[in-house]
A and B are shown apart, each in its own frame.
Chain A
Amino acid sequence: MSVDTATVAKIASLARIKVTEAEIGAMVPELNGILAWVEQLAEVDVTGVEPMTAVIPNTQRLRDDVVNADPLTGGDMRDAVLANAPAPEHGFFGVPKVIE
């Protein structure tokens, strides 16, 4: 499978990365080179093989159902959460107008 300029433009749009026509032109051969190379995986016989989900066997833990059980990851952190926001407003994240 290979990509053309329309496909690369679509991928960039899905990835929310603004690209110029010139950038798309440069990306097409680069991505095609990489994709052609990874396509060798198609030759591996994977009949009956499960896709890997966890590289080291582990179990999913549940934390105790307690408010702020771990103060580091609990609540009451509004100011810390907003401290690095580019445009905080009135205790919220500010964004451009989304509803006309």
Chain B
Amino acid sequence: MTDLTNLGIAALRDGVAKGDFTATEVATAFNAAVEAAQPALNAFIVTTPEKALEAAAKVDADRAAGNPLGTMAGVPIGMKDLFATKGTQTTAASKILEGFTPQYESTVSQKLWDAGAGMLGKLNLDQFAMGSSNETSAFGNVISPWRRPNDTAPLAPGGSSGGSSSAVAARIAPAATGTDTGGSIRQPAAFTGISGIKPTYGRCSRWGVVAFASSLDQAGAMAHDVTDCAIMLEAMAGFDPKDSTSLNLPVPAWTAGLNADMKGKKVGIPREYRLDGMDPDVAKSWDDGIAWMKDAGAEIVEISLPHTKYALPTYYIIAPAEASSNLARYDGVRYGLRDLPDGAGLQDMYAATRAAGFGPEVKRRIMIGTYVLSAGFYDAYYTQAQKVRTLIARDFTEAFQQVDVILVPTAPSSAFALGEKSADPLEMYLNDVFSVPASLAGLPAMSVPAGLDRSGLPLGLQVIGKAFDEQGVLNASLALEQRAQFTARPAKWW
């Protein structure tokens, strides 16, 4: 029998349905892989092998009884520890939520369980999803399964969905949920040679997802390939009355609609993304992507997104502002950590609790957000940023009058080593340069592996689509995937 842990969503689901293997065999194989890799990769904050087995037993029983099986039946997945899971600790990788046991299930995770998926565990991430390297977690760094040749230096799996990317790339989970606020699905997918899609803002319910920046946060799928991402996203998406920004639209049949033929399609190449001093390997992979799009029948159109350079500073005002407001709820009263110094009053308790519970990057962003929202600075920073955000979104609207999708690199480099960028917050922020604009405009965007750079590490290509056009994004990504023929895998050292 083939090693089950090498299979993705579609192969596992179909194999279980056909009876080639049981869901219990699948769950057992992945549970073992998780346990073996956990000391080296630290991809999970908690593992839940019993949950994976429980879901698998139900699928096996349903199959034996001839009951219909869900689209994710028999597939055990990793759940980013930003999704509330009833009865299983949910921390957002912060000490302030250590021990927090939700009394309810997030809409997205519930939909995945309803589709027959099981849970391998809760995946590590940057604390409150704030980071690009998974170095801000209170539960330790996640290590990428990838290494540079003849070098054992630990590399970043990307962030904030670093546990998700590391687990899928190491084949200890066939797929994982991610969330994307400024690139937190796409950049880690690119760093680890997997695929990841962030849908249009509002497609996936935010109910039960620990909030970072509510106008940007979107859940999405991370998996081996485009088809698996389509299957998983279809299971996750859908209208939810409990989220006031949820889109009241039917979920299209993205998987059935997959079509890599790009004839008649126009692919936009924004000139502003070709930065001075761009990494030559990243530039080459972008050129490869352009050639693959032409080969698939698309017409290439040069476009302009003139406010691109302002996207990052806009993001680093808006996201911290929203975070400072969202994270005000961690007060040591209702849930999570409480630090009550001797004789302290209520205000002292708040301040002590938040000082003890939040990590340095979370504090930094709360401080920036508090400052830009404070009296006297609100208009100069926050209102100005919201106006520039309007212009950034308008750039995309105008570009999409000429083209169907936009093709750009996912990240400015391949994975960096842990510690390489963590000393300077600004340098870390610059890693989001290619992913943040689509987030600010609420657009669907996907990263697919394009090839390896000179140091043998994966590079990703990003497809950005029109609002609501996940199908166009998936199709263009599939055309890239078929031509990139990316089969490289990290050599197993863990």
Using CB atoms and an 8 Å cutoff, list the residues of chain A in contact with chain B.
Answer: 1, 3, 7-8, 11-19, 27, 30-31, 33-35, 37-42, 44, 46, 49-56, 58, 60-61, 63, 70, 72-73, 77, 80-81, 83-87, 93, 95-98
Contacts and interface: CB of A to CB of B under 8 A. Distances in A.
B347 interface: yes
Contacts of B429: 34
B247 A58 contact: yes
B363 A44 contact: no
Contact of B201 (A12, A19, A56, A83): A56
23 contacts: A8-B367, A16-B331, A17-B351, A17-B366, A18-B351, A18-B354, A30-B425, A31-B364, A31-B368, A38-B313, A38-B316, A41-B317, A44-B307, A46-B384, A50-B387, A52-B393, A55-B215, A56-B202, A72-B242, A80-B103, A81-B334, A86-B333, A96-B346
B338 A50 contact: no
Nearest to B245: A58
B241 interface: yes
Given A41-B388, A73-B242, 15 more contacts: A11-B367, A13-B351, A17-B363, A30-B425, A31-B371, A34-B368, A44-B391, A46-B384, A54-B215, A55-B201, A58-B247, A70-B241, A84-B335, A95-B333, A98-B346
A86 B367 contact: no
B337 interface: yes
A58 B203 CA distance: 12
Contacts of A44: 307, 310, 384, 387-388, 391
A52 B381 contact: no
Nearest to B104: A72
B337 A86 contact: yes
B351 A61 contact: no
A15 B367 contact: yes
A69 to B, nearest CB: 9
Closest 9 pairs between A and B when the two form their complex, measured CB to CB: A51-B386, A55-B442, A84-B335, A86-B338, A18-B355, A18-B351, A46-B387, A80-B103, A38-B313
Contact of B374 (A14, A27, A30, A61): A14
Interface of B: 99-104, 200-202, 215-216, 241-242, 244-245, 247-248, 307, 310, 313-314, 316-317, 324, 328, 331-338, 340, 344-352, 354-355, 358, 363-364, 366-368, 370-371, 374, 377, 380-381, 383-391, 393, 425-426, 429, 440-442, 467
Most buried by B among A46, A96, A97: A96
Given A41-B314, A52-B390, A3 B336 contact: no
A1 B345 CA distance: 34
Nearest to A8: B367
A31 B367 contact: yes
Contacts of A80: 103-104
A93 B248 CA distance: 36
Most buried by A among B99, B248, B348, B371: B371
Prevailing SS type, chain A contact patch: loop
A96 B389 CA distance: 43
Contacts of B331: 16
A15 B99 CA distance: 24
Given A17-B351, A95-B346, A51 B390 contact: yes
Contacts of A52: 386-387, 389-390, 393
A1 B429 CA distance: 20
A80 B84 CA distance: 14
A38 B333 contact: no
Given A41-B313, A41-B314, A58-B245, A84 B334 contact: yes
A40 B307 CA distance: 12
A36 to B, nearest CB: 9
Contacts of A61: 241, 244, 248
A40 B201 contact: no
A34 B370 contact: no
Contacts of A46: 384, 387-388, 391
Given A42-B384, A70-B242, A84-B101, A16 B354 contact: yes
Contacts of B393: 52, 55
Nearest to A16: B350
B354 A96 contact: no
Most buried by A among B348, B385, B467: B385
A80 B101 CA distance: 10
A51 B318 CA distance: 12
A46 B241 CA distance: 35
B374 to A, nearest CB: 7
Nearest to B371: A11
A49 B367 contact: no
